[in-house]
């Protein structure tokens, strides 16, 4: 065999061996990547499916007399917003009406989220009550026990903040404040207004200070505490703070009727309203949470019943407590901010939640919910015994 032929055989063999090695390596790489790719694809599909599952559907039974009457009334009134009605703990009506965004002609639906304004105080109250039950705060203690730099000329117990009896100057938001800390420092610096100490005067500032108390006690931002203890725990998939990028598409734009036209209300101060007005929510989520509250999933029964039902007692001397009202015929939660109004009535049978993004003097939210609750659902009789302990 000549030298050329030997060299040819050696080179050919070497190339074949190299090709085999490359082939084996490529196959191993392929096998290692494929399971990961399949897993990623599967996770993406699961994530997509979960998002689809979280979307709320319109709930309306045209054969149900009450549903039809509610729908007829809302359409005739030219209501702009969404309404959710629960009966015995189950959703029976959930529907959107009118426009979510007039500029883009986007319509409201069951998924539309509204700025709930002072209705957020109800959740701040829930968070406070949890801290009380856990022994982490005492409502009789002055606020300076929890925020040492919050000093005032007279002591302000947490109870007085909760009941709007602190006497603090009424809070006015400002573009010079950029967060909750700025707001609470401004409240502390203005202090107590002469003649209002221990007297009832509704004031957003009281609940901004309480939000700061929650932050100080738990050493976490208010939003983080809320998301951990309320949103995630009770699976509120249609609730988010104003700056949540994942919820922007469902958030309604707020308007006010001026000269018979919708005027945009730009929510410029929400960065300082933690605890008192910067939360968006679909009516369904509020109703869902109240069902959990009523069924003792938030507090034990011996705490839940007095919390919801008592008024004019030693424990709850007023109709108002922890951000909501307990009346003879219902419980009431309400808030309005930047063209949005968000109202809830509930008793043992029904929960009605009405959210609007169009402040309109001819179609007031309170009038709408009263008509549904009293005239259509025939509620409004004795529900709570005023002065009775539970």
Mean pLDDT lowest for which of 14-23, 38-47, 235-244, 308-317?
38-47
pLDDT greater than 60 at residue 202? yes
Q: Are 36 and 51 in contact (CB under 8 A)?
A: no
Q: What is the DSSP string of 155-218?
A: --BHHHHHTT-S-BPPP---TT--SHHHHHHHHHHH-BPTT-TTS----HHHHHHHHHHHHHHH
**pLDDT digit string, tens, across residues 224-237:** 999 999 999 999 99
Task: State both tokens at 377.
Answer: 């659902």
At residue 48 the predicted structure's pLDDT band, cuts being 50, 70 and 90, is: very low
At residue 38 the predicted structure's pLDDT band, cuts being 50, 70 and 90, is: very low
Q: What's the average model confidence in pLDDT over 181-207?
A: 98
Q: What's the average model confidence in pLDDT over 261-289?
A: 98
SS3 at position 156:
coil
Question: Count of alpha carbons within 13 Å of 301, Cβ hemisphere only?
Answer: 1
At residue 16 the predicted structure's pLDDT band, cuts being 50, 70 and 90, is: confident
**pLDDT digit string, tens, across residues 77-98:** 999 999 999 999 999 999 999 9
**φ and ψ at 94, to 5 degrees?**
-155, 105
Helix (H) or strand (E) holding 95: strand 90-97
CA 312 – CA 385 distance, rounded (Å): 10
Task: State both tokens at 263.
Answer: 């005027």
At residue 47 the predicted structure's pLDDT band, cuts being 50, 70 and 90, is: very low
Specify the length of the chain in residues. Answer: 390
Q: Are 156 and 142 in contact (CB under 8 A)?
A: yes
Q: What is the pLDDT of residue 52?
A: 47
Q: What's the average model confidence in pLDDT over 3-23?
A: 67
Question: Which among 126, 211, 206, 111 is positioned nearest to 168, based on CA atoms?
Answer: 206
More confident residue, 375 or 46: 375
Q: What's the average model confidence in pLDDT over 264-286?
A: 98
CA 5 – CA 208 distance, rounded (Å): 91
Domains of the chain: residue spans and CATH: 62-376 (3.40.710.10)
Question: Which among 390, 385, 353 is positioned nearest to 83, based on CA atoms?
Answer: 353
pLDDT greater than 50 at residue 133? yes
Q: What's the average model confidence in pLDDT over 304-317?
A: 95
CA 229 – CA 83 distance, rounded (Å): 26
At residue 20 the predicted structure's pLDDT band, cuts being 50, 70 and 90, is: low
| Range list of H helices, 253-380 | 283-294, 301-309, 365-370
pLDDT greater than 80 at residue 350? yes
Q: What is the pLDDT of residue 15?
A: 74
- Alpha-carbon torsion (273, 179, 321, 202), positive or negative: negative
SS3 at position 370:
helix
At residue 53 the predicted structure's pLDDT band, cuts being 50, 70 and 90, is: low
CA 153 – CA 172 distance, rounded (Å): 21
Q: Are 110 and 82 in contact (CB under 8 A)?
A: yes
List, in order, residues 6 or more apart from 271 with CB less than 8 Å away: 177, 178, 179, 242, 243, 278
Question: Which among 387, 308, 317 is positioned nearest to 348, based on CA atoms?
Answer: 308
Average pLDDT, the chain: 92
User: What's the Cα-to-Cα distance from 211 to each of 100, 221, 240, 370, rounded to whole Å?
Assistant: 30, 9, 17, 31
Q: What is the pLDDT of residue 54?
A: 86
**pLDDT digit string, tens, across residues 365-374:** 999 999 999 9
Q: What is the pLDDT of residue 34?
A: 47
Residue found under tokens 């015994």: 385
Q: Are 294 and 308 in contact (CB under 8 A)?
A: yes
SS3 at position 53:
helix
CA 46 – CA 28 distance, rounded (Å): 28
Q: Are 335 and 341 in contact (CB under 8 A)?
A: yes
């Amino acid at each position: 065999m000549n030298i050329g032929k030997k060299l040819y055989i050696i080179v050919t063999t070497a190339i074949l061996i190299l090709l085999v090695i490359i082939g084996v390596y490529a196959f191993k790489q392929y096998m290692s990547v494929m399971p990961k790719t399949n897993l990623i694809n599967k996770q993406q599909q699961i994530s997509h499916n979960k998002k689809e599952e979280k979307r709320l559907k319109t709930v309306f039974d045209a054969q149900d007399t009450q549903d039809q009457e509610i729908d007829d009334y809302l359409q005739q009134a030219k209501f702009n917003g969404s309404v959710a009605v629960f009966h015995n703990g189950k959703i029976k009506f959930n529907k959107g009406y009118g426009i979510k965004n007039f500029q883009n002609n986007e319509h409201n639906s069951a998924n539309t989220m509204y700025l709930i304004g002072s209705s957020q105080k109800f959740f701040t109250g829930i968070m406070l009550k949890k801290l009380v039950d856990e022994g982490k705060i005492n409502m009789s203690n002055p606020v300076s026990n929890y925020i040492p730099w919050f000093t005032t000329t007279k002591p302000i117990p947490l109870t007085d903040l909760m009941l709007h009896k602190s006497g603090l100057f009424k809070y006015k938001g400002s573009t010079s404040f950029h967060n909750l800390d700025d707001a609470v420092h401004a409240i502390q610096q203005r202090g107590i207004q002469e003649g209002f100490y221990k007297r009832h005067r509704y004031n957003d500032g009281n609940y901004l200070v309480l939000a700061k108390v929650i932050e100080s006690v738990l050493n976490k931002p208010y939003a983080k505490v809320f998301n951990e203890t309320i949103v995630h725990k009770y699976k509120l998939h249609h609730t988010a703070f104003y700056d949540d990028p994942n919820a922007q598409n469902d958030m309604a734009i707020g308007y006010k009727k001026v000269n018979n036209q919708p005027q945009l209300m730009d929510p410029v101060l929400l960065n300082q309203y933690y605890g008192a007005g910067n939360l968006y929510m679909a009516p369904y989520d509020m109703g869902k949470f109240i069902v959990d509250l009523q069924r003792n999933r938030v507090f034990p029964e011996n705490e839940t019943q007095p919390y919801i039902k008592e008024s004019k007692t030693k424990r709850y001397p007023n109709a108002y407590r922890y951000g909501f009202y307990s009346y003879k015929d219902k419980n009431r939660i309400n808030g309005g901010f930047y063209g949005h109004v968000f109202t809830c009535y509930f008793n043992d049978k029904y929960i009605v939640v009405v959210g609007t993004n169009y402040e309109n003097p001819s179609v007031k939210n309170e009038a709408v919910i009263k008509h549904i609750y009293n005239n259509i659902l025939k509620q409004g009789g004795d529900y709570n015994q005023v002065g009775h302990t539970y």
